[in-house]
Structure 1
């Protein structure tokens, strides 16, 4: 492997240091004079920058979206016509696949093996929602139970939407908002997370290349204050946000005061229940993707592994060996499994949790330290992939979302104990059940108080709702349910 710094110098990316925002169909110079740097978390070096949009920039974007919704053609196209645009956007996204992957990896350190799937996944989301055009076009007439008349139920777009995405999957966690909003007939103002502001510009390029009318899609960049202003802007009708639970609470409070609909996909602390008959070899093959995907920086992964007392040591050994075998290194190397933490602050947070695990008596069976990799990566934010055994349910590493490469293996005596332990959390986003008996595994899955559960693997299905319970959020994304979140209903009664 060549020196990481030299490898990065050889890259040619379409966006690095930029001065524009996408407003009313064009890349437009920002009015704000402040800027944010973009840092490569693998090296700690600044490689890009973007403008911090100010209130006037946001007003321009929101006004463009409002005008496009109130007087433009987009909401007045048929759903099938809008679906045609989504299909063209999907094609344009795929044409930018490598640029998307490289930009994404340099922004947040996601291994290239992960980020190279982003374009295909994003295109798949656009294409899936395009198939729902008939759902919007289907006439919905409901007779009165008394027989005195009937009601025509209309599905109208909710209006102008503020879409705010996080830094861990900056492309797809925006697209799962953008695609249904567009099909519904909404117009949008988008804001990526501060650490990852560049990759989304390629999605905007795809939208523009597909011919989407001016004002329908707008992009601003900036800090949390700009996001707060987007939530409260008077021209906005709906908010969709993915991110941390504390920020989600603030957004919910603001939206509640404004009686503004909101979709929130927030944090998680999910569990994988390993039933006594589980095939540990099969589990090892899906362990990293299900429990430590994207270097542990994934909301739904099951970072608590619950193992029966009779097989606890076997489970610990398997988990330890699997994680230890995953290569950590330069995320631009296609052989890399684990990259860096996405930011310096996240690195500090993860290390604090690792240190708390040691202090509270957990045993690190692999990892448990900051990693020093050399080869130009000395300034990177690397934490060794870590497995803690002998974890008590009361430890911080067992209770709180870490968002880093740290797994905890806990012990249970009965399946009832395992279910109670898995449900003993403020969150409710994901979960897993590993077991050889499919009926028994499904029974356990049905008893978990969480929005999504995988049986012997975990994946997101574009056609099925994804959302959290309790502190993991409000509402759902994906599926027809995700489309419905961007609709407003009108009942017209007639005889």
Structure 2
């Protein structure tokens, strides 16, 4: 298929290649071994490009959760990992990075078949995950350095220790099932913790490659555990009495429930939640430069990315020009088989999300938005929605307020720079954002006024060395950077004369 706007039917999905394989594991990874699941039910894994189930995994139960947490606790209390020097753990993380990269093809193929991410996207997942592991390995010295602080009155000194927390529950979403685990796993391991990983139920298979890579790298038995099952297992895991820390990426709704549970238990928690980020195009914007980064900035992974700027804020003086240019970019970006390297837009990742996207599009029609392109489900198999540009969107419309998480962008007008900043800050979220201008200093000055955890100037990308986290309804705590590592330690001050 060429452009979504010109689409006449469903993308062509040819048989063969990765779609010839099936995968039906029966085990959970607990205590360094694949063990039979206590839960006897199964969860189908559906290829969103065809709508067909191609695999299934065990639907674990509370007994599986308990076994995994007990194994992680035993590894933490009795095993060598927490007692190794950080530099020794770092050496294992570097081997881990190599093992991940060696599995790049399997990781990409499994990821794409699980959630429809085009291989142009999933093909970089292994390298990115390896980069995260290598970056955190480089921070071993931060944990090993002697941190001595004098009393202000000169009466003594304090030695500050950073101890591992214990058992960390890592709960991941379905949109980036590899890297959104690894960004939690790498700092947790470097700090000396053990972990239990619970992937999202639609994408339970990619992470098995990561677990195999960890074992091959020499991570001791019980330090990394993996359980698959329905969402309710996450609730059991969060509330398990032997869990010492929770890290979650997902919806704000679920994040609130996890935060409430952790608050009741006085349990540390990191939450990376939803977003409704804005791209402010100032009146001097270079549209050619903007067009080059538009898809990655505002519709990455078929619009299923938390931080992308799906609200385009355009100056009144150039509004129609900007709508036309965005529409041109979208219509010229191929949609189709996610295993085709030329594909830019794949399917929506699963049926519930597909139905949610269509519901949002219907609300846009009812509320008077103009469909510059797209807006329709595509006939045929799979969960394809034509990539959509919504113009004449006003702040009160549902599509301007709620995270759609699909191939949809909205374009809103503004009259003054102050109004653009006010619009950018008008939602309860605060995760990402971008300011586009021919004058980078002018864009930077505007970016400083955007109430968000991260803001880009003429592009957006995550920096492994800089903290990433949300404000307001977009989360608690941060990932990436030294600050992300500090989320997985417990401080102890030892005072001496």
* Structure 2 Cα separation of the partners of residues 461 and 356 of structure 1: 36
* Structure 2 Cα separation of the partners of residues 484 and 59 of structure 1: 27
* Structure 1 Cα separation of the partners of residues 166 and 297 of structure 2: 36
Indicate the residue corresponding to 2:89 in structure 1. Answer: 82
2:138 pairs with 123, 126, 131, which one?
A: 131
1:4 pairs with 3, 13, 16, which one?
A: 13
Which runs of structure 2 are paired with 1:336-415 in the superposition (5 Å)?
336-372=343-379, 378-415=380-417
Contact 1:305 1:410 in 2 (8 A): yes
Which runs of structure 2 are paired with 1:36-51 in the superposition (5 Å)?
36-51=43-58
Indicate the residue corresponding to 1:419 in structure 2. Answer: 421
Contact 1:241 1:248 in 2 (8 A): yes
Deviation track 1:144-171 (CA, whole Å, cap 9, x = no partner) reads 0000000000000111000000000000
Cα deviation for residue 270 of structure 1 reads 0.4
Cα deviation for residue 4 of structure 1 reads 2.5
* Structure 1 Cα separation of the partners of residues 21 and 377 of structure 2: 31
* Structure 1 Cα separation of the partners of residues 79 and 127 of structure 2: 30
Cα deviation for residue 71 of structure 1 reads 1.4
Q: Which runs of 5+ in 2 are unaligned?
A: 2-10
* Structure 2 Cα separation of the partners of residues 65 and 310 of structure 1: 59
* Structure 1 Cα separation of the partners of residues 155 and 15 of structure 2: 77
* Structure 1 Cα separation of the partners of residues 19 and 284 of structure 2: 51
Matched residue SS, 2:162: strand
Indicate the residue corresponding to 1:164 in structure 2. Answer: 171
* Structure 1 Cα separation of the partners of residues 108 and 421 of structure 2: 38
* Structure 1 Cα separation of the partners of residues 385 and 280 of structure 2: 26
After superposition, the Cα gap between the structure-2 partners of 1:387 and 1:143, relative to the gap in structure 1 and judged at 3 Å, is same
Q: TM-score, normalised by structure 1?
A: 0.97
Which runs of structure 2 are paired with 1:310-325 in the superposition (5 Å)?
310-325=317-332
Matched residue SS, 2:448: helix
Cα deviation for residue 72 of structure 1 reads 1.0
Q: Does 1:213 align with 2:215?
A: no
Contact 2:18 2:109 in 1 (8 A): no
Contact 1:5 1:43 in 2 (8 A): no
* Structure 2 Cα separation of the partners of residues 476 and 10 of structure 1: 37
Cα deviation for residue 320 of structure 1 reads 0.7
* Structure 1 Cα separation of the partners of residues 14 and 26 of structure 2: 25
* Structure 2 Cα separation of the partners of residues 174 and 11 of structure 1: 27
Indicate the residue corresponding to 1:121 in structure 2. Answer: 128
Contact 2:164 2:193 in 1 (8 A): yes
* Structure 1 Cα separation of the partners of residues 179 and 466 of structure 2: 16
Contact 2:12 2:337 in 1 (8 A): no
1:469 pairs with 465, 468, 471, which one?
A: 471
Q: TM-score, normalised by structure 2?
A: 0.97
- Give the root-mean-square deviation of aligned CA atoms: 1.1
Indicate the residue corresponding to 2:4 in structure 1. Answer: none
1:301 pairs with 279, 296, 308, which one?
A: 308
Q: Which runs of 5+ in 1 are unaligned?
A: 373-377
After superposition, the Cα gap between the structure-2 partners of 1:93 and 1:368, relative to the gap in structure 1 and judged at 3 Å, is same
* Structure 2 Cα separation of the partners of residues 415 and 3 of structure 1: 45
Contact 2:12 2:336 in 1 (8 A): no
